[in-house]
Structure 1
Amino acid sequence: MPSLSIILRAVFVVSLPALAPPAVADLAWPEGRPLPAFPAPAEKLDALVVQDLLPDEQITFSALQGQVNRTKPRLILLDERAGEGRDTWLNTPGSGVDQFTLHPSDSRYDIIAKYGKELSGVVIYDPSRSEHYRNLACTVAGLEKALPVTREVLAKILPRGWDPKVVSDLTELPFKSATDIYEHLRKEYWPRCTKRLIVSARPFTRGGDLHHTRDMAAACGAAVVWLDPRDKAERKLLASFFKDMPAGDAVALGWYATERSGITTASEFGIGTIPSDFYNGSTVFAGGPREIQVPAVPKMPPLEDKIYVAMFISDGDNIQYVQHAMRDIWERSESVRGRVALNWTISPGLVDIGPGLLNYYYDSATSNDCFVSGPSGMGYLIPYNTLEEEGAPVGPTMTAADRINGYTRLTGRYTDRAGLRVVTIWDHATPEQRAGYERNCPQLYGLTVQNFKDVPSVSASVENDRLRFEKLRIPYAGSYDHIHGDLERAIRRWNGKEPLFLAYQMDVWHEMKPGRIVELHDNLQREFPDQIEFVRADHYFNLRNQAESLPYNLCLDPETKVRASSGDAARAIDGTPATHWKCTDGGEAWLGFDFGSPRTLRRYVVRHSESDGLRGVALQTSDDGTRWKTVDVQRKPTPPVTQASFNPQRARYARLVLKTADGMPGSLADAEIYGSR
């Protein structure tokens, strides 16, 4: 029999829209970041195993995780079935977690009592009337700093010493259909929800997503919805949420009823989706280290009359894959990684939602492991759909100029923060979209476009004589024979008198895992000695521009030599902002480049922070390394990146002259000079 307090609540609580301020007020959430900055985790976390929780307990405890972790990550739900192992990430150096206490199942409600004073109360819902009430309750509870609970869960809470206020009772609402429930959410609660983030989560007992990233929604005051875009009415309602979100400052977390119907619905509004319906502990791992340890970039090979091949490994945009399956694939392939160049797609959003995960891969990478952004930048977005599926017609999705600019600007910021220089696009890009990437992602070397079903309109291009869009020979190649046959035909048709460039993407879920790619390389080398070379994606695009006399990063060229007025000059052109060239001479310092022979110079880039003390930068050129001509001056460098283009200058030598604060020694993270032969 239910307790008297439960009965009284059921009688007297009136369901009204929430009045408390949004929970997001407690978070550091800078403009231009669709995910907030969480504090570093506590020295010791409380931990519960998800498999010990009933379905509606998962709803409650995931919300508790978000509410508790908003001010200081202290609670995590662990997945006993995680492919990489339940505790693997917590025990990984650099994850941000030092220790944790795993609580037994029978003490789980004591955890609620422990943190009850930080909560405003509970939001009651009844999933027997519709499972979509779970999402409505999660949304309301996130706004109210409360817990979503069923009456059965509340009955288990009360004996443990926390007697919460019922801030909203949703059990008397008359709605039963998904559209009616989310129409109610949109009318009554969406105005108070953050518009920078939305979570799409299955609320079903069977096959549902009852805890992944719901903690992020609770912490941020984000709406949680589940609408099927294959249904016209539900697609229209889902689109109405995306329409209110600012392209360039918003993402979706979770997943959809089908991939293309959901992704294309969000894409119309310039909203990328970070696939995360199996991502654990988002509000814990988001509090990981803020410094991203971008790997150094080796010099590219000299350009020769060879076939240069770039092999891209799929699905890194999917952060649950990065957390689970990729960790297993990465470690199992340790004995072969490094033998040939492999290009791993990864999500730039990890700089916010899992920096420790990103750093793990970066720290353990070989010089032949190159990381590139998954499709199509900051969140999975299909700017132009080439595969017709139910709810996803063929054609361009993102067409409005403000949305193109918003999404590509966001992509530019996040790929720069993550140190990613190449983006894979699914599927295609219109001329306006390509121009948007070129305009708003100045740090990118290139992008690939898919070639599903060999659609003739999907083509390669070069934007503004700078940014190359490369058409993949085969997208999502699933078998060795398929890709080997295509490469063999290309090699036999090649004239051998000029470089040839071929790009492929591997379907990581099937046969073409790293070991098989290495086997493919070794077999081709035996069949066609000295004719083929697998290369990093950043090298691929620079080599290709070099071959076509377009500007490329001369600091990657093996002929380029660097020296400086003081300090270790090589640290300035190692391709990573994680290391800094520090000049010991104050006032003015210089960084000099010898390209080996004259080049046509067009642009330079300097990466630096406020603490580097840079107060001015100028580029000078010279024919002999003695007499110098100033071709550009930046008197107010703007961290994190100062860059400038100038009228083409033919010169063998260049130097960056740096003015530092108050004549003190300064530093910079990285420098790049762009030119052509």
Structure 2
Amino acid sequence: MVDVIQTLQDLCGTWTLIINQSSDIGRFVTLSLDISLEDGQLQIEENWGNRKWRRTLRLPINGEACTRPVKDRVFPSNIYTAISYIPGEEIVYRGAWSDTGGLEISERFEAVGSQGTYPMEISHTYRLSPTGAGLIYTAARSSRQGHEIRHTFRRKGVGEAWMMPMVNDWALDGGLPEQAGIISLQGIVNRHEPRLYLVYPPEWDFKFTPHVLDYLKEDRFMAFTELDGIDSAIEQFREDIKGYIVWDQNVRTSLIVSFTLAGLTDAIVIAEDLIPLAEKYGLALIHDFRGQFEGQLDFEIYTWAYEQYWEQCSRDYIVWMGGQHGNVMMPGVADWGIYNKAFFTDLSTRPEDTEEYDMARSLLSKQNKYSFVFGWHSYKKDKEEQHVTLTSQYALRVEGLHTLPNMSFSCQIPLTPGFTFRNNHNIQADETIVPKEKVYIACIQTDCLGIGGWTEPGRGDIPYAWEVTMNWVWLAPAMMEFFYKQATSNDYFVGALSGPGYMYPRSVPPEDLPPLIEKARELMQILDLKVFEVMEYTDGGFYTGSPDLPRSIVDAYYDGMPEAIGFVNGYTPAYTFTVRDRRPLISYDYYLSPTQTEADAAADLEELAVINRKRPYFLLMHVRNFSDIKRVQRVLNRLGPQFELVPLDTFLKMAGETPTFAERYRGDTQGG
């Protein structure tokens, strides 16, 4: 009985109807429930159509039957159907707690239709969602077999937030000033609870923001009120904003410095044209950067920012606000940096840029070991390989990109209680698969879950593997749950990339590699991942450098990840191969470029099958994220019957049992 009372107490509160997830209720449009428990009596007050019609039900929780007189004829759930109650008659109710964990109320009465009365029984059920934020109500009528009425409610005051659509204009002299202000505002107002979510346009790198929003509404029962611009956003969150910072539109780097100051002062960043708006709401000026940095080099600007702000900034997070350059900036990750009081920069990590490079080294050396570098390198100043090489030298973990959105919001939405990550494994540990005399292909998409084909047509049609950004398990737990729940039986998840975050193992200090691999192993265990991907470009040059691994580093991964069924290596083609205890490490033999024609791509694969004559031949293909699965299918459909696409874990199992590749490490005379 105690458990029943506790669960009934959990049902108590005010619940509002989610209209687009509920059966139609006609002209009433809306419905709310007020559920309370007092002195052994459960009370459910229904408010139809904003008080157009109301009724209250009271019944004992001990399962005894009770009666209530009918006061009027209204049959509210179907007002367009000629069914009515009979005023003056009685309704008999009985409440019970079901075996499935919901409240069941049976209702028996005489209904009337055009031909007379009908003895009707309705079974009402009320069941909480796993998070407790939603209530699912169903009504099964004896006169309506096989088609129940269903209403979904959210708990009033819980999971209420705001959202705002962004536009595809990130020019300094265009849409950036307002959108940078909105993103800075997001980092401030989300500091203590998730309140503002931004929906980015279809052209954005991470394409999932509208899909995750739908998930939060439908699965988490969150309510979002749309804001239509920075004016309405400031009005809504005025009490959270401590002031404003003016950046100089003639000095792009002043915006990056402004993001640092915003995190330290809870002030929004705005350009000159928005000063009247800030003054309209009585915001105080924190700093005006107009004219301050005119004619200065980035190194000089960041030196000033370092002297002013560094000591107040986080040692666990630093943000490289790189990516696009010139008249464009796409600062999607700025909310996260502001939320964490991070130092922002886009210093060059190109050794030839001596001043900026030395300063970048100095900043990274002062961060806590194994901490995070968010954002991305500047496409103008340096290369990805140079950036990750330098961060890895200090045992730091890169989490890209500069466009990574909504992390200040997503980090605060937990997993559904009881949710466990389950990958779509195709083999058993003790299973033996005998390959045929064929060319086996496995496909892995590049660049994490949220970029590329996940939201595009074709996902689920063929076996396909996806690189998982493993830190999302704590950085955006509900978002990671969203991907796992969306996965089909053909979607297989792979741990990436080189560690618990993006790094190059050859650049990591040798004493730090085992602890980092252990952190990656822990994330893999949580996420039910059995395959791990390594990428190594310390030498630079995705196409001209050596992507291969020395034996000592391969040893470290095998020793540190005993549960892994196999490893993959590279980005474009690489040449490291081995197998140990039937667990292979296989490098990519093919990179499907987005610019390669489908006919030429198929010809490339056929040529590899000619060069690699032994059968079975295991051909691992890395698919650039700009290719959706339909395109991959069209390429594979051009191949002959000797080719077979298989799931990645099946591929690795067969390759481990019947290896036909030559063992090779970095430094060997052939290949890499």
Which TM-score band applies after superposition, normalised by the shorter structure?
Answer: 0.5 to 0.7
- 1:303 matched to 2:420? The reply is no
Pairwise CA distance, 1:372: 1.2
Question: Within 2, Cα distance between the matches of 1:440 and 1:400?
Answer: 16
Q: Which residue number corresponds to residue 536 of structure 1?
A: 647
Question: Within 1, Cα distance between the matches of 2:371 and 2:221?
Answer: 29
1:293 maps to a residue whose letter is F
Q: Is the 8 A contact 2:398 2:503 kept in 1?
A: yes
- 1:460 matched to 2:581? The reply is no
Q: 1:545 to 1:284 in 2, by over 3 A?
A: same
Pairwise CA distance, 1:399: 4.4
Q: 1:212 to 1:95 in 2, by over 3 A?
A: farther
Q: Is the 8 A contact 1:313 1:345 kept in 2?
A: yes
Q: Which residue number corresponds to residue 234 of structure 1?
A: 356
- 1:220 matched to 2:340? The reply is yes
Aligned partner of residue 497 in structure 2, secondary structure? coil
Q: Which residue number corresponds to residue 413 of structure 1?
A: 522
Q: Which residue number corresponds to residue 527 of structure 1?
A: 641
Pairwise CA distance, 1:499: 4.7
Q: 1:428 to 1:143 in 2, by over 3 A?
A: farther
Question: Within 1, Cα distance between the matches of 2:398 and 2:219?
Answer: 24
- 1:545 matched to 2:656? The reply is yes
Pairwise CA distance, 1:207: 4.8
Q: 1:537 to 1:354 in 2, by over 3 A?
A: same
Aligned partner of residue 183 in structure 2, secondary structure? helix
Pairwise CA distance, 1:180: 1.1
Q: Which residue number corresponds to residue 98 of structure 1?
A: 222
2:299 maps to a residue whose letter is T
- 1:193 matched to 2:320? The reply is no
Decide which of 178, 187, 195 is 2:298's aligned counterpart: 178
Question: Within 2, Cα distance between the matches of 1:514 and 1:370?
Answer: 14
Q: Is the 8 A contact 2:568 2:586 kept in 1?
A: yes
User: Cα deviation per residue 1:543-564 (whole Å; 9 max; x = unaligned)?
Assistant: 3334469xxxxxxxxxxxxxxx
Pairwise CA distance, 1:210: 4.6
2:161 maps to a residue whose letter is L
Question: Within 2, Cα distance between the matches of 1:287 and 1:277?
Answer: 20
User: Cα deviation per residue 1:561-592 (whole Å; 9 max; x = unaligned)?
Assistant: xxxxxxxxxxxxxxxxxxxxxxxxxxxxxxxx
Q: Which residue number corresponds to residue 507 of structure 1?
A: 624
TM-score (norm 2): 0.62
Question: Within 1, Cα distance between the matches of 2:384 and 2:452?
Answer: 19
1:109 maps to a residue whose letter is D
TM-score (norm 1): 0.62
1:372 maps to a residue whose letter is V
> What does residue range 272-671 of structure 1 map to in structure 2 within 5 Å?
272-290=397-415, 291=419, 293-299=421-427, 302-306=432-436, 307=438, 309-317=440-448, 322-323=449-450, 325-329=452-456, 332-334=457-459, 337-338=460-461, 340-383=462-505, 396=506, 398-426=507-535, 427-450=547-570, 452=572, 458-462=575-579, 465=581, 468-476=584-592, 478=596, 480-481=598-599, 484-485=602-603, 487-488=605-606, 499-510=616-627, 513-521=628-636, 524=639, 527-528=641-642, 532-547=643-658
Pairs aligned (count): 472
1:326 maps to a residue whose letter is G
Q: Is the 8 A contact 1:272 1:380 kept in 2?
A: yes
Question: Within 1, Cα distance between the matches of 2:613 and 2:166?
Answer: 59
- 1:244 matched to 2:359? The reply is no
Pairwise CA distance, 1:293: 3.3
How large is the Cα RMSD of the aligned pairs? 3.5
Question: Within 2, Cα distance between the matches of 1:439 and 1:98?
Answer: 44
Q: Is the 8 A contact 1:313 1:508 kept in 2?
A: no
Structure ID, larger Rg: 2
User: Cα deviation per residue 1:584-633 (whole Å; 9 max; x = unaligned)?
Assistant: xxxxxxxxxxxxxxxxxxxxxxxxxxxxxxxxxxxxxxxxxxxxxxxxxx
Percent identity among equivalent residues? Answer: 17
Pairwise CA distance, 1:78: 2.7
Question: Within 2, Cα distance between the matches of 1:422 and 1:350?
Answer: 17
Q: Is the 8 A contact 1:314 1:476 kept in 2?
A: no
1:69 maps to a residue whose letter is N
Question: Within 2, Cα distance between the matches of 1:371 and 1:47?
Answer: 30
1:134 maps to a residue whose letter is L
1:92 maps to a residue whose letter is Y
- 1:50 matched to 2:174? The reply is no
Q: Is the 8 A contact 2:316 2:371 kept in 1?
A: yes
1:471 maps to a residue whose letter is S
Q: Is the 8 A contact 1:255 1:275 kept in 2?
A: no
Question: Within 1, Cα distance between the matches of 2:323 and 2:659?
Answer: 53
Question: Within 2, Cα distance between the matches of 1:547 and 1:505?
Answer: 22
Q: 1:500 to 1:323 in 2, by over 3 A?
A: closer
1:311 maps to a residue whose letter is A
Pairwise CA distance, 1:152: 4.3
Q: Is the 8 A contact 1:82 1:324 kept in 2?
A: no
Aligned partner of residue 91 in structure 1, secondary structure? helix
Q: Is the 8 A contact 1:450 1:475 kept in 2?
A: no
Q: Is the 8 A contact 2:183 2:335 kept in 1?
A: yes
Question: Within 2, Cα distance between the matches of 1:229 and 1:445?
Answer: 36
Q: 1:491 to 1:159 in 2, by over 3 A?
A: closer
Q: Is the 8 A contact 1:315 1:374 kept in 2?
A: no
Question: Within 2, Cα distance between the matches of 1:328 and 1:139?
Answer: 33
Pairwise CA distance, 1:205: 8.5
Q: Which residue number corresponds to residue 239 of structure 2?
A: 117
Aligned partner of residue 184 in structure 2, secondary structure? helix
Q: Which residue number corresponds to residue 261 of structure 2?
A: 140
Q: Which residue number corresponds to residue 267 of structure 1?
A: 392
Q: Which residue number corresponds to residue 195 of structure 2?
A: 74
Gaps of 5+ in 1: 1-39, 384-395, 550-677
Pairwise CA distance, 1:43: 2.2
Pairwise CA distance, 1:171: 5.2
Q: Is the 8 A contact 1:314 1:374 kept in 2?
A: no
Pairwise CA distance, 1:97: 6.5
User: Cα deviation per residue 1:231-259 (whole Å; 9 max; x = unaligned)?
Assistant: 33222222322222334332423443233
In terms of mean alpha carbon deviation, does 498-507 or 60-69 score higher?
498-507
1:268 maps to a residue whose letter is Q
Q: 1:534 to 1:376 in 2, by over 3 A?
A: same
Q: Which residue number corresponds to residue 27 of structure 1?
A: none
Q: Is the 8 A contact 1:378 1:411 kept in 2?
A: yes
Pairwise CA distance, 1:536: 2.2
Q: 1:146 to 1:244 in 2, by over 3 A?
A: same
1:313 maps to a residue whose letter is I
Pairwise CA distance, 1:201: 1.4
Q: Is the 8 A contact 1:96 1:287 kept in 2?
A: no
Q: Is the 8 A contact 1:136 1:225 kept in 2?
A: yes
In terms of mean alpha carbon deviation, does 474-483 or 340-349 score higher?
474-483
Q: 1:82 to 1:519 in 2, by over 3 A?
A: closer
Question: Which structure's relative contact order is higher, taking Cα pairs within 8 Å and 6+ residues apart?
Answer: 1
Q: 1:355 to 1:413 in 2, by over 3 A?
A: same
Pairwise CA distance, 1:194: 1.6
